[in-house]
């Protein structure tokens, strides 16, 4: 049987060994907590720190991240673009003091960098952990929630000095409150770099407070609408120095990438389908049951043209019998779903009703 081209592919990037992902460069503006305060213990259960596999937390930390799923961590693409192998880094949870806390250290199984990442645009990546962890994930902002003008909190173990020549890295997790500004206002300040819709800016025009080197990949969060929790709106990305007057910090705008995140976090297996035409022009379609799936969609398209592709929801059923008239010739494939999470397509096949 001929097959339909129902194929989804995901490319992950593995480059050379880790370089100075958090050092200031002129040609590549770097992520930049200055002017903040030490956070309370256990206040941010989803806060993560990226460390080199063979080093201590204090010596090996190079970026932050957030737990958004029991087995997935959100960070900045520039933090991991030069990682040769996912096995060279670990993620630590339950950390506050890098010198005294043990926390839970989990190796990274896979690195997924956004396919459109370039020149710090689409600066977002996911790390799949080797095993799930029991910490509470952070909620991500709803795409239609307004953030401009709201006060946000940035977190990290990064540099606390505004002087690039004298970095001061402390042991304890710090936080700083910053107002989110419009992209228009940010663009008017940052003439030297394009502020795209994939970015958001936060900070004080007079300077004094900011994220800094070592905070890269960490979160920018705002209070949720009920005021009893937090939503992540940004990822620490880059800036012109740290806490400098006349400059804002630039963050990856998380809401833009909801589809990317959903696609990666969705781990429903693709069903396996069988197709048969029996007596009286009856088509029998059956497929394997997929763990955690709440329903299935049947996709079909005219054979041999392949377009247009239509689909309908069959619910939780795993078998369908249809009586068809002569001349009905179609490709068929199945896809499982759970809310907005969808599996890949099953094997595809076609039938001909003579």
Same domain, 217 and 117: no
Q: Please say if 41 is a catalytic residue.
A: no
Structure tokens belonging to residue 138: 């952070």
Residue 121 CA to residue 195 CA, distance in Å, equals: 9
Of 39, 69, 78, 346, which one is the catalytic site residue? 78
Same domain, 258 and 144: yes
Same domain, 238 and 175: yes
Same domain, 105 and 172: no
User: In this structure, how many other beta carbons lie within 10 angstroms of the beta carbon of residue 94?
Assistant: 17
Same domain, 148 and 243: yes
Same domain, 275 and 338: yes
Task: Tell me which of 73, 106, 129 is where a domain ends.
Answer: 129
Task: Tell me which of 107, 129, 151 is where a domain ends.
Answer: 129
Same domain, 219 and 255: yes
Q: Please say if 114 is a catalytic residue.
A: no
Of 90, 121, 123, 215, which one is the catalytic site residue? 123
Q: What is the pLDDT along the chain (354 residues), one digit of tens a residue?
A: 333 322 222 233 333 333 333 333 323 443 435 556 788 888 999 999 999 998 999 888 899 999 999 999 999 999 999 998 999 999 999 999 988 888 999 999 999 999 999 999 999 999 999 999 999 999 999 776 788 999 999 998 876 555 554 445 568 898 989 999 999 999 998 777 899 999 999 998 865 554 555 678 999 999 988 888 999 999 999 877 655 667 899 999 999 998 899 888 888 899 999 999 988 899 999 999 999 899 999 999 999 999 999 999 999 999 999 999 888 999 999 999 987 788 889 999 999 988
Dmax over CA atoms of the chain, in Å, equals: 82
Same domain, 208 and 285: no
CATH at residue 70: 2.40.10.10
Of 211, 216, 237, 247, which one is the catalytic site residue? 216
Same domain, 257 and 151: yes
Q: Please say if 123 is a catalytic residue.
A: yes
Same domain, 119 and 59: yes
Please indicate, yes or no, if residue 121 is contained in any of the structural domains: yes
Asked if residue 88 lies in contact with residue 179, where contact means CB atoms within 8 angstroms, the answer is no
Q: Which domain holds residue 333?
A: 266-353
Please indicate, yes or no, if residue 241 is contained in any of the structural domains: yes
Residue 95 CA to residue 44 CA, distance in Å, equals: 10
- Beta-bridged to residue 234, according to DSSP, are 253
Domain total of the chain:
3
Same domain, 203 and 281: no
Same domain, 286 and 328: yes
pTM of the model: 0.70
Task: Tell me which of 111, 129, 147 is where a domain ends.
Answer: 129
CATH at residue 275: 2.60.40.10
User: How far is the CA of 166 from the CAs of 49, 161, 163, 213, 304, in angstroms?
Assistant: 22, 7, 5, 11, 67
């Amino acid at each position: 049987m001929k097959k339909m081209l129902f194929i989804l592919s995901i490319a992950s990037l593995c480059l050379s060994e880790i370089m100075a992902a958090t050092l200031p460069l002129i040609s590549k503006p770097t992520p930049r907590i200055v002017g903040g305060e030490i956070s309370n213990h256990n206040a941010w259960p989803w806060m993560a720190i990226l460390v080199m596999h063979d080093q201590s937390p204090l010596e090996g930390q190079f970026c932050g991240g957030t737990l958004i799923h029991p087995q997935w961590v959100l960070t900045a693409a520039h933090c991991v673009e030069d990682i040769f192998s996912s096995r060279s880094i670990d993620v630590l949870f339950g950390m506050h003091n890098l010198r005294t806390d043990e926390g839970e250290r989990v190796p990274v199984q896979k690195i997924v960098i956004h396919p459109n990442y370039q020149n710090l645009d689409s600066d977002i990546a996911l790390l799949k952990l080797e095993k799930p962890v029991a910490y509470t994930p952070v909620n991500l902002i709803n795409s239609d929630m307004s953030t401009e003008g709201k006060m946000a909190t940035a977190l990290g173990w990064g540099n606390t000095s505004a002087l690039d020549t004298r970095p001061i890295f402390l042991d304890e997790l710090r936080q700083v409150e910053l107002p989110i500004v419009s992209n228009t206002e940010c663009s008017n300040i940052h003439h030297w770099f394009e502020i795209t819709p994939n970015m958001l800016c936060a900070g004080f025009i007079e300077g004094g407070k900011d994220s800094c080197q070592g905070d890269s990949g960490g979160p920018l969060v705002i209070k949720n609408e009920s005021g009893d929790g937090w939503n992540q709106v940004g990822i620490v990305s880059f800036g012109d120095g740290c806490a400098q007057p006349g400059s804002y910090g630039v963050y990856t705008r998380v809401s833009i990438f909801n589809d990317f995140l959903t696609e990666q976090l969705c781990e429903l297996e693709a069903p396996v389908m069988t197709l048969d035409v029996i007596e009286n022009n009856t088509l029998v379609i059956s497929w394997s049951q997929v763990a955690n799936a709440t329903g299935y969609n049947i996709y079909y398209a005219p054979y041999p043209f392949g377009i247009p592709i239509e689909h309908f929801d069959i619910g939780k059923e795993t078998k369908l019998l249809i009586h068809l008239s002569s001349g009905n010739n179609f490709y068929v494939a199945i896809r499982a779903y759970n809310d907005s999470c969808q599996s890949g397509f099953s094997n595809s096949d076609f039938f001909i009703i003579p």
